[in-house]
Structures are given as C-alpha cells and as structure tokens.
Structure 1
C-alpha cells in the first residue's frame, strides 16, 4: 500500500523518504509490513510445491500441505504482529526507491496501522524511478 504523508510529518521520520513527483507537498510512503505480506501471499505461496516439501519427514500424504499451510500462516501472523513501519528510501546506487532490511523495527497495532494507511492512500501510483530532491533535514528533526 502506497500512501502519502505531509512534509511536516516526513521531517520526523527516522529514515528519509522523498517527495511525490506530482505533488511536492506530500511525501511517498510505503510501510514494509504491506510489502512483506504482498511478497508472502502473492509470490511465495504459488512457488511452494507441497508435493516434495517435508515428504521425507511424514508418512501422511497430506501432512506436507498441512505443515506448509501452518508455517505460512505463522509467518503471516508474525508479520502482522510485528508490522514494520519503516519507509522506503532513495538508493543513489540503484537509482530507485526501495526498502532496507537493516532498519530498526518496533511492534504496532496492525488494525490501527492499516486504517491509518488507508486514510492516506494516494490516488495513483507514483513513479519510484524519478528522483525528486527536497530540503528535509537528515538526520531527522529530534524534539
């Protein structure tokens, strides 16, 4: 889920984000938790072949499917419980915006977080390959 935050809020983020190229009063944000859930549900599930997974450990032909489903649901629950709120950052090396796995993480209330993001949804996709300079202080404002 891509959303927008005003510049005065972006100034307080611990990790720098960047302006939306078609509206510089707002900054682009995407929380890692939604990217992680997208990766898990959209890409990981279709590639897990349950025929071979754990087959050597179980005699029950359905145990592998049940076990994989259980494990994936455990990962899903963990992502929701941990709900990373790190924003994506501009990478000079790659010339695009992306998430960094080395950022600090903190637990959140997922339902409140999801509602907060939905209230700030952007109307259309912002081109993440367009660098937009800005004057936000970095490191961030600490008060």
Structure 2
C-alpha cells in the first residue's frame, strides 16, 4: 500500500484498508460490450440500470478524528461532528469518500442525457440509435475510470448559512498529475490533425468484426463469409 499512499493525498481510509492493484482491461467498445456492466444502458432507459446506479447514490458517511481532519488540511472548528447520542465520542467528524460523490455527479449527467429520450418522439430532429449508443459508451467509460482509480480522498462537512443540515465541502485536496504538461506533450508530439482524419484502410489489412448492432442501425445486410472448401 506504500506506493498508493505516495501517489495519493492523505486519506484516513488508507490507514485501515488493504487491497491489491489489478490490471483490468476496459470494456471500451462503442457498441454494447460482450460482458456489459450493470451500469450501462443500451438503446433506451433501463430500470435495472437505474437501480444499480441508485444503489451508489446512497453515499455513506463515517467518523474521522481531529488529527485526521488536520492532516486533510481542514479546520476542525468549521467541521460537523456526529452528535454525542450516536455513541461515537467527542472526536468524531463527519466524512465521506469523494469517489462516490464523483459517481453521483456522473449519474446526474446520465439522467439529464436520458431525459431527452422520452422527448425524442416529439422532437423535430430525433436522436438516432447511434446517439444513445454513444451516450451509453461515454457514461460507461467514465464510470469504469472512476472505479479503476478508486479515489479515496475525503469530503468533510460544514454548517453553512441558511442550511439546517450538514453541507458537504467539495473543496477537496487531491494529489494530481500536471494536466497542462500532458496537454503540452500531446500538442508537441501529435501529428497534424488532417493526418488522423485521412487515413484509409489499405488493401489486405487484417480486420476485426464489428457488432451486429452496426448493421441493424444502418440497415446494412451483413456480408456472408463464404467457407473455404
């Protein structure tokens, strides 16, 4: 776990959790994967998919100590403590894992995207099946990335003016890679834009099969592969 701590901002979760880093291949196909995740819609809203997401919407909170609060760079005097009647003592500050907040944000965007599905029939220019496949793909890619990174950074809570309940402080400290440096590297090492757009398949190139959904969406008859005698 030492290498994880070195590449993460301090989190009290890392003091009491143990796990291994695993190599996991992203299910990255545009069309539905062979083993689609339970968080991926297909071509229309799916109650079972919604239920899987809603299970993650119940973000759980847990206690952290004043010493842990200070290591997070927060002021204990401004943070919410659990009530004494909960039996957690006088040194129990409310906290949650930031990853689940990020999943909540993605789910909100997912809901907004799929809300357009029910209005599609009255739209002047309805969205195509490919649009909904694209929405499913993008959401699933981001979800897989959030799960893969397993961000254990901590959200704390404040008492905020006008609010009667604990209010999450989403100003969270992270240990980040330098986005500007990565963007500059890409700009420096990438080939001209038109080079990527104008590449066409050469004769004899090996190819992989495309999803059956492609032929259905575009109304194309799938070519029959003749068997070699």
Q: Shorter-chain TM-score: what band? A: 0.5 to 0.7
Could you tell me how far apart the structure 2 residues matched to 1:30 and 1:93 are?
A: 21
Task: State which of 45, 51, 65 in structure 2 corresponds to 1:6.
Answer: 65
What's the counterpart of residue 130 of structure 1? none
Q: Using a 3 Å threshold, how does the CA distance of structure 1 residues 31 and 94 change in structure 2: closer, same or farther?
A: farther
What TM-score does the superposition give when structure 1 sets the normalisation length?
A: 0.52
CA-atom RMSD, angstroms? 3.2
Could you tell me how far apart the structure 1 residues matched to 2:145 and 2:162 are?
A: 30
Could you tell me how far apart the structure 2 residues matched to 1:78 and 1:103 are?
A: 19
Task: State which of 143, 148, 166 in structure 2 corresponds to 1:97.
Answer: 166
Query: 1:63 aligned to 2:130?
Result: yes
Which structure shows the bigger proportion of residues in helix conformation?
2
Q: Using a 3 Å threshold, how does the CA distance of structure 1 residues 99 and 25 change in structure 2: closer, same or farther?
A: closer
What TM-score does the superposition give when structure 2 sets the normalisation length?
A: 0.36
Q: Secondary structure at the match of 1:25?
A: coil
Q: Secondary structure at the match of 2:92?
A: strand
Greater length-normalized contact order (CA 8 Å, ≥ 6 residues apart): 1
Task: State which of 17, 32, 36 in structure 1 corresponds to 2:102.
Answer: 36
Moved over 6 A (4+): none
Query: 1:73 aligned to 2:148?
Result: no
Could you tell me how far apart the structure 2 residues matched to 1:79 and 1:98 are?
A: 23
Gapped regions of structure 2 (runs ≥ 5): 1-59, 177-229
Gapped regions of structure 1 (runs ≥ 5): 108-143
How far 1:36 sits from its partner (Å)? 1.9
Could you tell me how far apart the structure 2 residues matched to 1:13 and 1:27 are?
A: 12
What's the counterpart of residue 115 of structure 1? none
Could you tell me how far apart the structure 2 residues matched to 1:7 and 1:100 are?
A: 16
Which structure shows the bigger proportion of residues in strand conformation?
1
Paired residues, what number?
A: 102
Asked whether the equivalents of residues 32 and 99 of structure 1 are also in contact (C-alpha less than 8 Å), the reply is: no
Q: Using a 3 Å threshold, how does the CA distance of structure 1 residues 9 and 37 change in structure 2: closer, same or farther?
A: same
Q: Which moved more, 1:92-101 or 1:71-80?
A: 92-101
Q: Secondary structure at the match of 2:154?
A: coil
Asked whether the equivalents of residues 15 and 86 of structure 1 are also in contact (C-alpha less than 8 Å), the reply is: no
Q: Which has the larger radius of gyration?
A: 2
How far 1:91 sits from its partner (Å)? 4.4
Alignment of 1:59-138 (within 5 A): 61-80=128-147, 81=149, 83=151, 85-95=153-163, 96-106=165-175
